[in-house]
Amino acid sequence: MIFSKTTEYAIRILTYMATDYEKLYSAKSIVDKLNIPNKYMRRIMTNLSKSNFIMSIQGRDGGYKFIKSPDNIYLAEIIDSVDGIDKYMGCVLGFNECSPKSTCAMHKSWTETKEKLYNTLSKTSLSNLIKNTIDKF
Amino acid sequence: MIFSKTTEYAIRILTYMATDYEKLYSAKSIVDKLNIPNKYMRRIMTNLSKSNFIMSIQGRDGGYKFIKSPDNIYLAEIIDSVDGIDKYMGCVLGFNECSPKSTCAMHKSWTETKEKLYNTLSKTSLSNLIKNTIDKF
DNA sequence: ATAAAATACTACAACAAAGTAGCATATAAA
DNA sequence: TTTATATGCTACTTTGTTGTAGTATTTTAT
């Protein structure tokens, strides 16, 4: 799979949360619903809650909730916040070889595809994603 | 980076070999030219030589050479032979969830991009790649 | 035959990603 | 103020990828 597990889980979690976007979700309730390793997921949540799209509420009856509408949260941002978007947008053939001066063997082929991908990721919001999702949560 | 080191190295090696495509290349001569870990590269060569685009010649004065024109060798084949193309063409959000019946959250967004990528990979030949490469070998 | 120079194979080492465990901290309800 | 139920943090384990080492095998030149 192209994306890491971390990115995969982050997107699945936020997409699920976006189905009832004003609700406060406990980590437990999410883990029970989605099939994601408990502790690994907790760490992702902690990281996500340092972003500007969800926040955490500690203590009893705590959890996570959106602080920004899922209409305005795009996949590119989510990926960037958990993995760093450069992980996927870098040159295909290693070490930042690609620049206007020196281009690697796949430069031209990859550039178009990468732009298409980035374009999709930065225009697809969580709300958008829900519409296209037949997945049962 | 999207692709694995194994795929990266395979493409770089074959692109280099394609610049003089009837020549017999020893592993040593390739390693000296490109900057690829020696033994790791040997293993990749052995795997590649089990494909239908290059063959190995053992013994003294041996090496590797194309058994098919680089005009007709496409990136998708190379990737498939070293990593398996499914590694990159699978569903973004895990476990073959995507099917006509059940689609994952990123299904629609990803499908277009994936097709674009696959299209590029299966239409870009080694010869094609050389034309677009400013890289010094 | 023997030596030289090449590939083939197998086992191990180092590193990064994914997943687990346990304890610390925070907060609301009783 | 105590208890229950949350999140936060840190260290460890497992697994997969990348890289290394050494030996066996193959073949040509002498």
At B24-36, the pLDDT tens digits run 999 999 999 998 9
- C-alpha dihedral sign at A33, A35, A40, A41: negative
The reply to whether A136 falls in a domain is no
The helix/strand/coil state of B97 is: coil
**Nearest residue of chain A to residue B7 (CA atoms):** A93
- Contact criterion met (CB < 8 Å) for B117 and A117: yes
Report the pLDDT value the prediction gives residue B21, as an integer from 0 to 100. Answer: 95
Q: What is the spatial distance between Cα B114 and Cα B92, in angstroms, rounded to a whole number?
A: 9
Q: Which of B83, B93, B95 to mutate to test the interface with A (most CBs of A within 10 A)?
A: B93
The reply to whether B45 falls in a domain is yes
Q: Which residue type, as a one-letter code, is found at position A49?
A: S
Q: What is the spatial distance between Cα A104 and Cα B7, in angstroms, rounded to a whole number?
A: 14
The reply to whether A121 falls in a domain is yes
Among A84, A101, A82, A131, smallest CA distance to B136 is for A101
**Cβ contacts of A28 within 8 Å, gap of 6 or more:** none
The reply to whether A137 falls in a domain is no
The reply to whether B109 falls in a domain is yes
Query: Hey, how many other C-beta atoms are within 10 angstroms of the C-beta on B66?
Result: 20
ipTM (interface predicted TM)? 0.87
Cβ of B127 less than 7 A from strand C: no
The reply to whether B136 falls in a domain is no
Task: Name the burial class of residue A88, with classes exposed (0-12), middle (13-18) and buried (19+) by CB atoms within 10 angstroms of its CB.
Answer: buried
Q: What is the pLDDT of residues B46-79, one digit of tens each?
A: 999 999 999 999 999 999 999 999 999 999 999 9
Number of compact structural domains in chain B: 1
Q: B72 lies in which domain range?
A: 5-131
Cβ of A2 less than 7 A from strand D: no
Contact in structure between A40 and A94 (CB atoms under 8 Å):
no
Q: What is the spatial distance between Cα A80 and Cα A128, in angstroms, rounded to a whole number?
A: 18
Tokens 């509408």 identify what position?
Answer: A69
Q: Which residue type, as a one-letter code, is found at position A61?
A: D
Report the pLDDT value the prediction gives residue B108, as an integer from 0 to 100. Answer: 72
**Cβ contacts of A103 within 8 Å, gap of 6 or more:** A97, B132, B133, B134, B135
Q: What mean pLDDT do residues A13-26 have?
A: 96
Say if residue A74's pLDDT is above 80: yes
User: What is the overall mean pLDDT for chain A?
Assistant: 87
Cβ of A28 less than 7 A from strand D: yes
Contact in structure between A133 and B93 (CB atoms under 8 Å):
no
Query: Hey, how many other C-beta atoms are within 10 angstroms of the C-beta on A40?
Result: 13
The reply to whether B53 falls in a domain is yes
Report the pLDDT value the prediction gives residue A89, as an integer from 0 to 100. Answer: 87
Count how many residues are written for chain B. Answer: 137
Percent of chain A with pLDDT over 70: 85
Round and report the angstrom distance from CA (A65) to C1' (C30).
26
Q: Which of A78, A91, A110 to mutate to test the interface with B (most CBs of B within 10 A)?
A: A110
CATH of the domain at B88: 1.10.10.10
